[in-house]
Amino acid sequence: MALIYASTRLSDMIVRSVEVVPVLNRFGIRLGTGDRTVAEAAAEQGLDAGFLLAILNTFVNEEYFPEDTLKSFCADTVRYIADAHKYYEEFHFPNIERHFSLLVRASAPDTNLSLMLAFFNDFKRDLIERYRNDMSTWIPALVDKANGCDNPVVRFDIDDSAAIDDRMNDLKLMYVKHLSGDTDTNLCYAVLTAISNLERDLRQNDRIRDRILVPLYRQLLRL
């Protein structure tokens, strides 16, 4: 997708890339955008337009990654990642579970959907555990530093996001290759779409976690 600018109308951006809606929601920006631009929406929400643009462009363009901008907004970046994980728990996970439940009820008893759902639940539990570990251990040190605090920095082990990405891909592949029995095709597609939306969201946000926040924390350890 083409780069998003301060003068880009929100409506034009959303029509080109509807998957950006959850990102906007995390900033308090909802549908019904009128002709507002990104800069105007940022001003209404009390946001720095440069930071909002950095997040939006990172999300919609795989090749775009404004490291310097995101590093300069460390505390805002941490808050964004925290809001993203809250969105997983309050929207993405319930959305997948809701579609899974509808699919199970609409399908014949001979399916292996219960195994698929169990795999997803294991993945969900581990992702929530990783997030809560991040937010209770090493990420607070970044927020303290950004706020000018001079607290000692404690060394913590940081999980690699690659393992999460691999399991997300395994879930999709298992669902596509090994789903068996008489199932509702429309609901099968709805589940796959919901899983794919979570995968994209997670992949883009883990780029920020691993390429911005993790290096900043390791830099603190060397100071």
For 195, other C-beta atoms within 10 Å of its C-beta total 23
Please say whether the beta carbons of 164 and 59 come within 8 A. no
For residue range 58-77, list pLDDT tens digits in order: 988 888 888 888 888 888 89
Per residue in 164-195, pLDDT tens? Answer: 888 888 889 988 999 888 899 999 999 999 99
Q: What is the pLDDT of residue 131?
A: 92
pLDDT at residue number 50: 93
Half-sphere exposure of 15 (CA within 13 A, CB side): 9
- Whether pTM exceeds 0.95: no
Model confidence at 223, pLDDT cuts 50, 70, 90, reads low
- Per-residue pLDDT at 1 exceeds 80: no
The answer to whether residue 160 scores a pLDDT higher than 80 is no
Where do the H-state alpha helices sit in the chain?
10-16, 21-26, 38-44, 49-60, 67-72, 74-87, 93-106, 113-136, 139-146, 161-178, 185-208, 214-222
Amino acid present at 207: R
Per-residue pLDDT at 89 exceeds 80: yes
| Cα separation, 161 vs 217, whole angstroms | 16
Number of Cβ within a 10 Å radius of residue 46 = 8
What confidence tens digit (pLDDT) does each residue in 14-52 have?
999 998 998 999 899 999 999 999 999 999 999 999 999
pLDDT value at position 36?
A: 96
Closest C-alpha to 177, from 116, 106, 109: 116
State the first-to-last Cα distance of the chain, in angstroms, to the nearest integer. Answer: 39
Question: In the predicted model, is pLDDT for residue 96 greater than 80?
Answer: yes
Looking at residue 159, its pLDDT comes to 77
pLDDT in tens, 113-159: 888 889 999 999 999 999 999 999 999 888 888 778 878 888 988 87
Decide: helix, strand or coil at residue 37.
strand
**81 contacts 58 by C-beta, under 8 angstroms:** no
pLDDT digit string, tens, across residues 3-14:
899 999 999 999
